[in-house]
Structure 1
């Protein structure tokens, strides 16, 4: 029942947070699938259900003892011949022992429940984090395709300038043009021209997880652009070399497109693994990634962490369970009391002078009381000490977890603020660069600027666009992690 509450809660929560755009609806559906199918969540929920089944046996009396004995040869007694006995005995632990045992198992079940909650929030965070990574990679793919189209347009402009009257290539004759055209075909056929990848050379964002490799590739691309710039200056601008350089840039981007597509496929497989479904299943990713709503209130938020975080609640429950276990161990050192009855079965014997006629053949009932003698005290003292030490360990674990959460709380808030500033900065830089790029395109068409300058501004525009998307991803991921540690809008505790 609680598991269904959890699924409904998370779906309603995420749908509420994401009701304004299509992406939010799809992520809510994916979260619902994960809560139903993720093996980790299902395993922890099964463990919680198992711990709940231990509560009732822990608070129950031990089973009564029923005994039967008979004589192979009847025993002669004054009241007849005894042929057998029936006995029934019920043991009772010392007062409060069963209550303490039940309390211990109840707190252990509570700890298992909090572990299940922690697993649920962890999976939800992982799903959102992977989802934002998919958005980032898809944005990279869109930018690469857009810039390939842009380079094709630049190539057409460069070819037009080359063929126009007064172009640098006209004086060299048709044979020269034919020779260069054959070189152009060879470059466009997919021959590797750079070992770094186009995206890394145009802003350092071809790889999501390898900034050092991106920086190296950016240096290589910069060196290549510098050498081409000097070559262009030596032979004059506006020649066929511009066309070749554009085709080199386009070949790099096409190679980067394939690399980024492979990264997207791997990210989809990881996302499907969280949902507990086949790795090749289709994932619907929106074209636009928006910032998650977030309102900072450090004092109230930290109070919510202390009162609602599942890990803190788990250590509290474990501490209480060890306290109850110590109380039970203490009471187990007291005697157990047994109350029972013994029923003696007799048959009549022949009457004689010694028989008592009024009792001959009468069955007998005998009440019994029994006590255990817990005289071996060391084992009980050891159990009590064990419980105290484990309680102390749980309290220290609670303090350590709280310290770690506090450090994470501060770091996450700083990450959110930093990402928010970056988003605003890159948006402003992207708009200014886009305006500059449009102006330079007109100037390039009028032969006022060189192709090197146009490509440099184009790289900057791509760089700022991708940096802005990455900042939104970083922002949303940090907000998702914040919601995980704060157990935001968690109503599970009201359904226990």
Structure 2
């Protein structure tokens, strides 16, 4: 029982180390990734557009000078000064601000989507690095095992129980494994460069990955309803809301605009006359209204907004179908990896039992080194398959998290 408890503790310890290391890498990637920084800048720009929406039409100021001064009863008009300010219909500015805010919210969802995609890419690359590193460790163990078999074969050759061909076969097999290890080293460097690029740092920085990953006994329960909360779908909801705000703004802009102004005309006194209003300046307050009589433009915008909303609904439905398909495929792949892991575990156990039998046969002097190579090849294949099953399981689980968390 204490042994079982220790195994469980070790598993959760590895899981915690894995999560902690990977989480820190993801945080570093989100902090340094230029794509996310670009999305954040776009969001800041969209937020600033809310302030931009709070504006009024330019104030019109006019100055005119009468080259030929018109004479009036009270005197000659010398010049004309005017100021005019048009005001949008009530609520138009608030409608502009609401529309700008809705667009900013849509930009904010883009940040969440970018972070999720980056997290998935970092996780997938991390698990590839783990698999390559684990395979290198397995190859080292098998090379050492073949070296042990080589020594046994040399001893058997000396006593006439094996031929030099058996030794050569073991040496050739060692060379093949060394070649595979060297290829894996290049694969690791290439994947490490990709991983570091995701974190926007130097490609040659060493990446620390866990030494062991184990598939848990039970899968975490998946809430498929959470798929509706995926930012890729929420983005369409935000776009739909922005179209609603755009239509409200369109309705406000189709209403009349009201203008207020003031004209001032200085008047010269008539020197040959004396009366109370002689030379009295003219002050004329004005009110104007701008009516969109030919409003086909606003009717067309309304129709366009309706069509855009229908388009967004169709796009969301299509995206939901794609995400549901992707989730179903990820769950299927995850379950498949568990099945493969269990089968390969049993196969490896049987191959290890065969190896023990061969070693016991050596003690009795009846070892067949062809069988040794066959069993060693089986062991290596099952070990590699176990690592790939681990990597595949966690890769599919990362996709499930991307879709439902």
- Given the two structures, how large is their TM-score scaled by the length of structure 1? 0.74
Counterparts of 1:246 and 1:423, CA distance in 2: 29
Q: Please list the CA deviations of residues 38-61 of structure 1 after superposition, one character each: whole Å capped at 9, or x if unmatched.
A: 121111111111111112222433
Counterparts of 2:278 and 2:176, CA distance in 1: 113
Q: Please list the CA deviations of residues 86-112 of structure 1 after superposition, one character each: whole Å capped at 9, or x if unmatched.
A: 333222223343333322222211111
Counterparts of 1:45 and 1:146, CA distance in 2: 48
| Range with greater deviation from structure 2 (437-446 or 36-45) | 437-446
Shift of the 75–112 alpha-carbon distance from structure 1 to 2, 3 Å rule, reads same
Alpha-carbon offset, residue 78 of structure 1? 3.6
- Is residue 117–residue 402 contact of structure 2 (8 Å, CA) maintained in 1? yes
Shift of the 427–129 alpha-carbon distance from structure 1 to 2, 3 Å rule, reads same
RMSD over equivalenced CA pairs, Å: 2.4
Query: Matched residue of 2:203: which SS?
Result: coil
- Which of 151, 158, 162 is matched with 1:163 structurally? 158
Counterparts of 1:477 and 1:297, CA distance in 2: 17
Query: Matched residue of 1:352: which SS?
Result: coil
Structure 2 gaps of 5+ residues are: 1-11
- Given the two structures, how large is their TM-score scaled by the length of structure 2? 0.89
Shift of the 441–32 alpha-carbon distance from structure 1 to 2, 3 Å rule, reads same
Alpha-carbon offset, residue 72 of structure 1? 4.7
Q: Please list the CA deviations of residues 211-242 of structure 1 after superposition, one character each: whole Å capped at 9, or x if unmatched.
A: xxxxxxxxxxxxxxxxxxxxxxxxxxx21111
- Is residue 93–residue 332 contact of structure 1 (8 Å, CA) maintained in 2? yes
**Within-5 A mapping of 1:114-125:** 114-125=109-120
- Is residue 80–residue 347 contact of structure 1 (8 Å, CA) maintained in 2? yes
Q: Please list the CA deviations of residues 141-183 of structure 1 after superposition, one character each: whole Å capped at 9, or x if unmatched.
A: 111111111111111100011112xx15xxxxxxxxxxxxxxx
Determine the structure 1 residue equivalent to 2:269: 349
Query: Matched residue of 2:78: which SS?
Result: strand
Counterparts of 1:148 and 1:430, CA distance in 2: 17
**Within-5 A mapping of 1:63-212:** 63-72=58-67, 74-164=69-159, 167=160
Counterparts of 2:286 and 2:97, CA distance in 1: 28
Q: Please list the CA deviations of residues 105-152 of structure 1 after superposition, one character each: whole Å capped at 9, or x if unmatched.
A: 222111111111101100011000000000001111111111111111
- Which of 225, 235, 246 is matched with 1:303 structurally? 225
Structure 1 gaps of 5+ residues are: 1-16, 169-237, 489-496
Determine the structure 2 residue equivalent to 1:258: 182
- Is residue 74–residue 270 contact of structure 2 (8 Å, CA) maintained in 1? no
Shift of the 83–428 alpha-carbon distance from structure 1 to 2, 3 Å rule, reads farther
Determine the structure 1 residue equivalent to 2:173: 249
Q: Please list the CA deviations of residues 262-298 of structure 1 after superposition, one character each: whole Å capped at 9, or x if unmatched.
A: 1111100110111111222221122122447985444
Determine the structure 2 residue equivalent to 1:334: 255
- Is residue 292–residue 476 contact of structure 1 (8 Å, CA) maintained in 2? no
Q: How many residues align?
A: 394
Q: Please list the CA deviations of residues 414-449 of structure 1 after superposition, one character each: whole Å capped at 9, or x if unmatched.
A: 222222233233223323322332332232353323
- Given the alignment of the two structures, is residue 403 of structure 1 paired with residue 321 of structure 2, yes or no? yes
Counterparts of 1:250 and 1:19, CA distance in 2: 31
Shift of the 411–448 alpha-carbon distance from structure 1 to 2, 3 Å rule, reads same
Determine the structure 2 residue equivalent to 1:381: 299
Query: Matched residue of 2:202: which SS?
Result: coil
- Given the alignment of the two structures, is residue 457 of structure 1 paired with residue 375 of structure 2, yes or no? yes
Determine the structure 1 residue equivalent to 2:349: 431
- Is residue 80–residue 359 contact of structure 1 (8 Å, CA) maintained in 2? no
